[in-house]
Structure 1
Amino acid sequence: MSHGMNNTRDIDTRTENNNTDIRNNKNGVTVGRAASDLGITVRTLHHWDETGLASPTLRTDAGYRLYTADDIARLQRIVVYREVGLGLDRIREILDEPGRDTSAALREQREELSRSLARLEVLRSGLDRMIEAHERGVLLTADEQLSIFGPDWNPDWPALARRRYGDTPQWKQYAERAATRSPDQWRAITATMTALDADLAAAAAAGIEPGSPEADALVERHRALVSEYFPVSRSMQVCLGRMYEADAAFAAHYDRLHPGLASWLRRGIDESARAHGIDPDTAVWE
């Protein structure tokens, strides 16, 4: 708004400085001179003339348009109203309709601008969160992270993950989803993951074989849940299974739930992949 109002003041100043010359010029001024004085283009003046919004009163013998002082005054009002966001149809109503309440029209425009500013503020806040999510990963305080993810969680992990994976498409997808999540939504995802871990441990303890319908159903639940962070293909899930078994921190997490659970989950993922035509030995991160 400040930029627009500054432009309006500039237009007022330019026009005021030039109006004396225009009033003294009984023959009017050309389109080029009027456009220059008002800070608009000749093409704009031609358009306003063609639509009947503002037409020059005079013509030279050769047919060239000439604007009188009254014409310029109308043009100045049009430019000012346009600078504050009024459309040309609304400007025409203000200028031409008898009894039109100009103040009411301007108040309506101010209210519309206020609504637009509120919408823009919401968008700016969303962009701020998205930028922060790309930089931090999880938009939770350290205390919130520990409360939601449990005492074994390290609040430094998101920063470490960004340094390691920040250039990948998956990090970008993860960050953009994280930007919209509330603490309660994180709690719901964490509760779902905790329930899945318990069911994985129970299946392994019960002797459920990888590749069985029961194990395949758990593998599908796992892939769907990880896809809450970023889309995970079956081939990518195979890569995750390898990491769970090979990475000491992941292996320790699963093996605390049930001895050998990390290997059981990796084998279950491999068998499910085979059933869908994917060779786990050649699977790659997509």
Structure 2
Amino acid sequence: MGVDRYTVGQVARLSGVTVRTLHHYGRIGLLVPDERSGSGYRLYTAGDLDRLTRILYYRDLGFALDAIATLLDGSQDPQRHLRRQHELLTARLERVQAMVTAIEKEMEAAVSGIELTAEEKLEIFGDTYDPAYEVEAEQRWGDTEMWRQSQERTRGFGRKEWEKVKADTDAANARMVAVFRSGAVPGSPEADAIAEEHRAGINAFYDCGYDMQRNLADMYLADERFTRTYEDLAPGLTQWLHDAIHANADRAGATPEAG
């Protein structure tokens, strides 16, 4: 077989179209190869393959086979048909995107337990809020007791409850920055008070002992997203909070976990 001649089986493999479909296209006159092999089998040329490509293109756009035949024969303006099909597909795409957005909101609510819209979350938590954090948190800690406690304690939280959480967090951060800027060193009574307030804030969501608080402090330095959160409050605050938490845990008699 010449390199520019193809059997129906070869065309089917190349195009992903079944032999039965190609035979159907031939019967209705949509794609009729003129050449034949010595055994009498029809052979497709490069021109036939080009026509098949255009048939599949129009078919994917949703055109009926008779409309495709008309377009390929050039008796009607293909631009008019394409413009209309573009309008239909654009409208369909908008409907699908709206459905995807609605489903994503439902997924976020299921993961976080927060019955708020995405807009409400942004209004409350600001532009630092990222739904991806919730998904990542469940992937990392979803099988832990901490995650179970957090989901249980926040189940049923609405806008009012989360606005209070945000206000309390902002107030605690303001006190932390004030102590940090005052020159209080980790291990001082002022810094210890901030470390205890930090632990109390975590305890509102799940039981946070000193070893757990140490782990959180280490994560604040290891994860740039947490680091950035504290550095945006005051440069150097992340390291200071880390050291204050460890010093307070030492004072309380908690021993660092091995490793």
Task: Please report how far the alpha carbon of residue 192 of structure 1 lies from its aligned counterpart in structure 2 after TM superposition.
Answer: 0.7
- Which range moves more in the overlay, 202-211 or 136-145? 136-145
Cα distance change of structure 1 residues 245 and 232 upon mapping to structure 2, 3 Å threshold: same
The answer as to 2:191 corresponding to 1:211 is: no
The secondary structure found in structure 1 opposite 2:220 is helix
**Aligned-pair Cα RMSD in Å:** 2.0
The answer as to 2:123 corresponding to 1:144 is: no
Alignment map for 1:134-173 (pairs within 5 Å)? 135-173=111-149
Q: Which amino acid in structure 2 is aligned with residue 258 of structure 1?
A: A
The secondary structure found in structure 2 opposite 1:267 is helix
Q: Could you tell me how far apart the structure 2 residues matched to 1:203 and 1:245 are?
A: 20
Task: Please report how far the alpha carbon of residue 176 of structure 1 lies from its aligned counterpart in structure 2 after TM superposition.
Answer: 1.1
* TM-score for both structures, normalised by structure 2: 0.55
Asked if the contact 2:186/2:244 (under 8 Å) is kept, the reply is: yes
Q: Could you tell me how far apart the structure 2 residues matched to 1:190 and 1:135 are?
A: 19
Alignment map for 1:223-262 (pairs within 5 Å)? 223-262=199-238
Q: Which amino acid in structure 1 is aligned with residue 153 of structure 2?
A: R
Cα distance change of structure 1 residues 160 and 217 upon mapping to structure 2, 3 Å threshold: same
The secondary structure found in structure 1 opposite 2:247 is helix
Q: Could you tell me how far apart the structure 2 residues matched to 1:252 and 1:236 are?
A: 21
The answer as to 2:163 corresponding to 1:187 is: yes
Q: Which amino acid in structure 2 is aligned with residue 199 of structure 1?
A: R
* TM-score for both structures, normalised by structure 1: 0.50
For residues 3-59 of structure 1, give each alpha carbon's deviation from its aligned partner in whole angstroms, at most 9, with x where no partner exists: xxxxxxxxxxxxxxxxxxxxxxxxxxxxxxxxxxxxxxxxxxxxxxxxxxxxxxxxx
Structure 1 segments unaligned to the other structure (5+ residues): 1-131
Asked if the contact 2:113/2:156 (under 8 Å) is kept, the reply is: no
- Number of corresponding residues: 153
Q: Alignment identity in percent?
A: 39
Q: Out of 235, 252, 259, which is 1:276 matched to?
A: 252
The secondary structure found in structure 1 opposite 2:208 is coil
1:128 aligned partner: none
Alignment map for 1:91-170 (pairs within 5 Å)? 135-170=111-146
Q: Could you tell me how far apart the structure 2 residues matched to 1:178 and 1:199 are?
A: 25
1:198 aligned partner: 174
Q: Could you tell me how far apart the structure 2 residues matched to 1:208 and 1:162 are?
A: 36
The secondary structure found in structure 2 opposite 1:196 is helix
Task: Please report how far the alpha carbon of residue 137 of structure 1 lies from its aligned counterpart in structure 2 after TM superposition.
Answer: 3.8
Task: Please report how far the alpha carbon of residue 135 of structure 1 lies from its aligned counterpart in structure 2 after TM superposition.
Answer: 3.6
Q: Could you tell me how far apart the structure 1 residues matched to 2:154 and 2:120 are?
A: 14
Asked if the contact 2:138/2:147 (under 8 Å) is kept, the reply is: yes
The secondary structure found in structure 1 opposite 2:184 is coil
Q: Could you tell me how far apart the structure 2 residues matched to 1:270 and 1:233 are?
A: 12
1:81 aligned partner: none
The answer as to 2:146 corresponding to 1:176 is: no
Q: Which 4+ residue blocks in structure 1 deviate beyond 6 angstroms?
A: none
